[in-house]
Structure 1
Amino acid sequence: MIGKIPKPGKSFGGCIQYNVLKKEAAILYADGVRIDKIAHTIDDFNMQRKMNPGLGQAVGHIALSWSPSDSDKLNDEKMVSIAKEYLQKMKIQDTQVLMVRHKDKEHPHVHIVYNRVDNEGKSIPDNFQHLKNVKISKELTLKYGMHIGQGKEKVNRQQLKGIDKLKYELHDTIKSVSQKVSSMAELKQELLKQGIGMQFKYKSGTLEKQGISFSKGKYKFKGSEIDRSLSYGKLSKQIEQQQKQVIEQRLSLGQQLREVINKQPGKEQSNHLSFNPFGHLPVITPEPDKPYRRKKKKGQDQDQDQSRGINY
């Protein structure tokens, strides 16, 4: 099971109409709202929203999806039961909730619409929601023995359409190119050659990078929206590690060359080989010159000795 949390919405009307009016959509559960008419459902959500008018984005929306392999294990009641447990662990409680099942995809999935203004007029926090979602989704998947996905590499690309297809194309290209570069600047240049733009998000008023996004055509996505491994933090860390490995490999190769040269025979000879880092050939290191002595002329020593009073 995986949970997908879209960007917070501002309109209950648009969110509810999208979920309820979809072909073959079925309302599985409702708490605190009427479901006889869509207009009544929207009015009920908006009425409670007015209890906290300062909360601009009061619309909560989460989609829970299971693998097609889990279809035989799931019925409407089971999906509702797991969704309720999910909301409880996410600390989304004591508020209006609507659960709608869609059948437009091969995999089972249910959409949850909830009011971020609870029954007492207090705001339901959404900080760290994405991190909690990943943890709780995995926890419930293991608890109920559901299928665990094998990553994007196992997804059948041929069945993808529209935005999903584009996201996977971006994922595959960025992952491939990022493994061959040594800096973020080089990554940006190489992606541009393939028609993919890369933009950084900076901390307000500074040059400190804190986010990254990718674009192709009229579409633009955050790196983490494409895949968690493509967030700025994880992507820059990956490239730094690759650069470090290259440097370590070069240093290791240099050390091996020095060891080979030091083991060459004749190293102790007067004319020995030394390693020249700027060429392919060894250079000859000559012996130091001996002190120069002037050669004396024949009979010079005898004349000098006589001058000192020495007789033979």
Structure 2
Amino acid sequence: MIGKGKAIAHTRASMQYGWNQEKDAQVIFSQNLAADSPNEVTAEFRFTQELNQNCKNNTLSFVLSPTIDDGKILDKKALSRICAEFMKEMNLKDRQAIAFVHTDKEHKHIHLYVNRIDFKGQGYNDSFIGKRSQQAAEKVAERMQLTTVKQVQWEKEMNLSSIRTEIKRRHDLTMKQFRPRSFEDYIKGMETNGVKVIPCINKADKLQGFRFEFDNFNLKGSEVHRSMTGGNIGKSLASGKTIPNFLRENTQLKLAGKTVELSTGMVKAIAKHVIKEVISKGLDIGMGL
């Protein structure tokens, strides 16, 4: 579950958004309030807020978002408990508060509004409220056996790790199986092996690298493996060739529906690699290796 929070001044507008029936809003939590409309709730908030004239952003607005799977099984009672536990965790105690659940999207989420001013006229300290909101949501999720942000991040990292490994494996297979001589050959070979290669074109209409799409993941080459940046793929393609021959085959590429050139950085990286390769071969021959 994700928690977000901030102090706001536009109480009525936020209440009206939260209560918008077009979003299938439903009141799931209310505390120390008698009102049953946005305007009336705002008026009750303001009556208490009159006790503290120094506080301007005097309403606390929170959004609590369970994961999609958790949201499917959370009924009104459970959603109300989330609000109550969150209020307790944030040390909001007996302040006026109201919460709505929005189910207009697949991702069910709660809008919780709390009066920053208590009945003694004391204002709630909103320092680092965003971070504290997330920490409180984490604790509530753990207490209620819901999925936490840390669990989601861990699962995502595990999935990403296996996806990176698989894309790299298919990259290596493509280089060995098809021995591509150009970027166009490489892209076709990767697509044959189930990976969509998306050229990254800069503002100067020049190719500067690639993204790789596989199993609903879309990653930059550098995110997959350092050998899969545009420059390093170019180096692999250029091995065993002269610079003029390689650039003749790759200077004008028909990618993403238009003709593009290699970026200056890619040309320099590839040229430097080819020159080193030529020098290395010359040294080996000269030494009789």
Aligned to 1:119: 119
Structure of greater relative contact order (alpha carbons < 8 Å, 6+ residues apart): 2
Instruction: Report SS of the residue matched to 1:150.
Output: helix
Residue correspondences, number: 172
Contact 1:27 1:98 in 2 (8 A): yes
Give the % identical residues.
21
CA RMSD of aligned residues (A): 3.7
1:28, 1:20 → 2: CA distance? 11
Question: What corresponds to 1:10 in structure 2?
Answer: 9
* Aligned amino acid, residue 76 of structure 2: D
The match for 1:144 is 144
2:130 pairs with 1:130: yes
Task: Name the CA shift for 1:59/1:153 in 2 (closer, same or farther; >3 Å).
Answer: same
Q: CA deviation at 1:20?
A: 0.9
Runs (5+) with no aligned partner, structure 2: 158-199, 205-278, 284-289
Q: Residue 13 of structure 2: SS of its match in structure 1?
A: helix
CA deviation digits over 1:232-290, x for unaligned, max 9? xxxxxxxxxxxxxxxxxxxxxxxxxxxxxxxxxxxxxxxxxxxxxxx9899xxxxxxxx
Counterpart-to-counterpart distance in 2, 1:141 and 1:32: 25
1:77 to 1:50, Cα distance in 2 relative to 1, 3 A:
same
Q: Distance in 2 between matches of 1:193 and 1:136?
A: 43
Matched position secondary structure for 1:111? strand
Letter in structure 1 aligned against 2:10: S
CA distance in 1, matches of 2:17, 2:72: 27
Paired residue type of 2:18: N
Could you tell me how far apart the structure 1 residues matched to 2:72 and 2:203 are? 46
Matched to 1:41, the amino acid is V
Matched ranges for 1:1-312 at <5 A: 1-5=1-5, 7-23=6-22, 24-148=24-148, 150-151=152-153
SS in 2 for 1:8: strand
Structure 1's 42 and 145: CA in aligned 2 closer, same or farther, altered over 3 A? Answer: same
Larger radius of gyration, structure 1 or 2?
1
Report Cα offsets for 1:7-42 as digits up to 9, x if no partner. Answer: 532122111111112421111222222333332211
User: Given that residues 12 and 46 in structure 1 are in contact (C-alpha distance below 8 angstroms), is that contact kept between their aligned partners in structure 2?
Assistant: no
1:103-131 Cα distance to aligned partner (Å, 9 max, x none):
11212211100110111110111112222
Distance 1:147 1:11 in 2: 32
Distance 1:15 1:72 in 2: 25
1:9 maps to amino acid: I
Seen in structure 2, the aligned counterparts of structure 1 residues 143 and 29 have a Cα distance that, compared at 3 Å, is closer
Deviation at 1:101, TM superposition (A): 1.2
Relative to total residues, which structure has the larger helix share, 1 or 2? 2
- Hey, what's the Cα distance between the residues in 1 that align with 2:92 and 2:105? 27
Distance in 1 separating the partners of 2:64 and 2:41: 21
The equivalent residue for 1:298 is none
String of CA shifts for 1:41-97, please: whole Å, max 9, x gaps.
111011111110100100110011111211353111111112111111111222110
Return the TM-score normalized by structure 2.
0.50
AA in 2 matched with 1:42:
T
- The answer as to whether partners of 2:65 and 2:108 remain within 8 angstroms in 1 is yes
- Counterpart residue identity of residue 25, structure 1: A
Q: 1:153: Cα distance to partner?
A: 6.1
Letter in 2 for 1:89: E
TM-score normalized by structure 1? 0.47
